[in-house]
Structure 1
């Protein structure tokens, strides 16, 4: 996490400690489960969904402890009060040595401007597949390689592709396609179960928007009307191209879903209860 923590301190097992201590703790070679939450006006967006995903990842790795709702909320609030930052991303990391280790700190956060949503993301294909896709585990080497490639080619995101030409997900986002009135996305067992993805699926079910989960092959990408990715910092981001395949960023289904999602966000934040 070198240079990742933007503050001079963070939270370690419920206590405020300096950033050097956190950096030292995170040097372990133990498998690390992590998640990134987005603060909106000091409230962690979709907190319960993030909590569930963290604990599911911990269970999949085989660790024994878990995150507890009230303690986790208190740690977030402690960091918000001390830093004064109310709109920022918070990263939490978990692993077990002699005892469970829970670390929390703020990271550099950038959110797309409005014109980016009109323009859409330029994405590239990359042969890559997560070993245990349902567990959100740190892989710093892969992240470094992906970031370098994206910078070199001037792309916004990389879309993972298997050796059998199955299109899966983004390197840090979930992937959806649109055909007519229907949304198509990868099966749950093949991808990281992102919090925003989960919320999109819930919204679709509530609003009778048809969703089909199935394998998506590379040679059928030209078949789709639109594509978009979802994530904590980007919400719903239209894709304008995957390699040389172009998509509309003005699709009515994507626009409808974006409106429903934004409405859901506001409602959630209005009703959020602090620790």
Structure 2
């Protein structure tokens, strides 16, 4: 089952292809132990996407939290990802709420890191989480063909901005680096990591990392709904330390926060 305009329908009647028509913004929320984690952050980002897209929509009128919880109860979801979509049509908006396939990192991946590659691509209006089928199809193909966990995007200045479905951080000489807004999507896990760094006196510099300099960084990691905080082992074959002490410290704080609150 899924929800269409807050009404349960058979999801066999629905195809995501319809989202290729017109303009759609969305959120992907993670369910952990039967609850949506950090929901307030998702709602703030959704409201940001609405405003940055110049849509005359009152977030409160959408009753997003109620719809997410309704689907969780209908489908008895204990763990997984839920996609919430607002599709803009000539006559108004349509809302879709449904489960999507997820792939969470293994314990080995968290311990030893994952491989990534880069490609030159720019997400226009990066602060808005909108349906971009062309970019997603391209990066999905790279991930499948090269057997990597993520594709990192390089902009016109030859700087790494973000992953195709994640934010990215680098560590050099005990300083964290990550691309600033408006060059990237304001990820909910990214926000938590920034808070953790601030609370623990860890220095963060919000600036893009030039691709030609990445070998000078000791560690790198991605953040996102599915990976949470995931070490990178390689970028285009260049090695990074997945057990860097500061990276491990941030991971421990993040997962402690998750277990404490959910």
1:143 aligns with 2:136: yes
Counterpart of 1:91 (choices 65, 83, 108) is 83
Q: CA deviation at 1:180?
A: 2.3
Q: Distance in 1 between matches of 2:195 and 2:203?
A: 11
C-alpha contact (below 8 Å) 1:12/1:22 kept by paired residues: no
Counterpart of 2:148 (choices 141, 155, 164) is 155
Query: What's the secondary structure of 1:32's corresponding residue?
Result: strand
Counterpart of 2:172 (choices 176, 179, 202) is 179
Counterpart of 1:31 (choices 23, 39, 48) is 23
Q: Distance in 1 between matches of 2:169 and 2:131?
A: 24
Query: What's the secondary structure of 1:188's corresponding residue?
Result: coil
Match of 1:212 in 2: 205
Counterpart of 1:224 (choices 217, 230, 238) is 217
Q: Distance in 1 between matches of 2:183 and 2:254?
A: 24
Match of 1:3 in 2: none
Query: What's the secondary structure of 2:168's corresponding residue?
Result: strand
Gaps of 5+ in 1: 1-8, 270-275
Query: What's the secondary structure of 2:87's corresponding residue?
Result: strand
Can you list the C-alpha shifts for 1:139-165, whole angstroms capped at 9, x where unaligned? Answer: 112211111112111211111012321
Alignment TM-score, normalising by the size of structure 1: 0.90
Q: CA deviation at 1:216?
A: 1.2
Query: What's the secondary structure of 1:227's corresponding residue?
Result: strand
C-alpha contact (below 8 Å) 1:37/1:232 kept by paired residues: yes
Can you list the C-alpha shifts for 1:183-222, whole angstroms capped at 9, x where unaligned? Answer: 1111111111111001111111112111001121111111
Q: How does 1:226-241 map to 2 (within 5 A)?
A: 226-241=219-234
Over 3 Å counting, the alpha-carbon distance change for 1:245 and 1:69 in structure 2 is farther
Gaps of 5+ in 2: none
Match of 2:193 in 1: 200
Aligned residues: 261
Q: Distance in 2 between matches of 1:69 and 1:246?
A: 48
Over 3 Å counting, the alpha-carbon distance change for 1:204 and 1:17 in structure 2 is same
Q: CA deviation at 1:23?
A: 3.0
Larger mean CA deviation between 62-71 and 83-92 belongs to 62-71
Counterpart of 1:167 (choices 151, 160, 163) is 160
Q: Distance in 2 between matches of 1:171 and 1:27?
A: 18
